[in-house]
Amino acid sequence: MEARLNYLADPTAARALKHFMSAGKVLEDSSLPAVTRELVALRVSQINGCAVCVDMHTKEAAAAGETSTRLNLVTAWREATVFTGAERAALELAEEGTRVADAAGGVGDEVWARAVKHYGEEQLTALVVMISFMNTANRLNVIAQQPAGDYRVGQFQ
């Protein structure tokens, strides 16, 4: 598969992505745990079918010490016993925040309440921005058919 667009070669895209990636850096520096960020990024990317992001976030999480068992079970997190209550709340929020068109009312109050039990306002804000950020990144990659498999840990840092 060959990408439809080379975002780095186009001056407009390169400028826009420079700012977009700086938002990603802000999220990295937030108090939201790194493992939660990677699990959420992976789950959102799985839902959206973004192979390049699934590749990236699986490799980044593994390099940070995440186990293959947990990575393999992200797609079936509801039935898995390997995630904490906080991680489960984040994954549930990520799913409803990603599937807004499917969830007639958007993110439900019960889902939000479960997230609030585990995260303070700063972390909730980072989590919501992270979910939105990943949905945007996924769409950029899916629309342009960015190929997956060649990502190297730390490649965009």
The predicted pLDDT at position 105 comes to 78
- Residue 65 φ/ψ region, left for φ over 0, alpha for ψ in the -120 to 50 degree band, beta for the rest: left
pLDDT above 80 for 121:
yes
pLDDT above 90 for 155:
no
Burial (CB count <10 Å: 0-12, 13-18, 19+), residue 148? middle
Average of per-residue pLDDT across 20-32: 89
Number of neighbours of residue 138 by Cβ within 10 angstroms: 23
**For 53-98, how does the pLDDT look when each residue is reduced to its tens digit (9 = 90+)?**
999 999 999 998 999 999 999 999 999 999 999 999 999 999 999 9
| pTM, to two decimals | 0.92
The predicted pLDDT at position 142 comes to 96
Q: Show the tokens assigned to 120.
A: 């303070």
Give the mean pLDDT of the chain. 93
pLDDT above 90 for 153:
no
- Give helix 34-48 / helix 51-63 axis angle, nearest 10°: 160
SS3 string, the chain, reads: CCCCCCCCCCHHHHHHHHHHHHHHHHHHCCCCCHHHHHHHHHHHHHHHCCHHHHHHHHHHHHHCCCCHHHHHHHHHCCCCCCCCHHHHHHHHHHHHHHCCCCCCCCCCHHHHHHHHHHCCHHHHHHHHHHHHHHHHHHHHHHHCCCCCCCCCCCCCC
pLDDT above 90 for 48:
yes
The predicted pLDDT at position 144 comes to 92
Task: Give the integer Cα–Cα distance in Å for 49 and 107.
Answer: 21
CA angle 129, 92, 45 (to 5 degrees): 60
Say if domain 11-143 classifies as CATH 3.60.15.10: no
- Domain ranges in the chain are 11-143
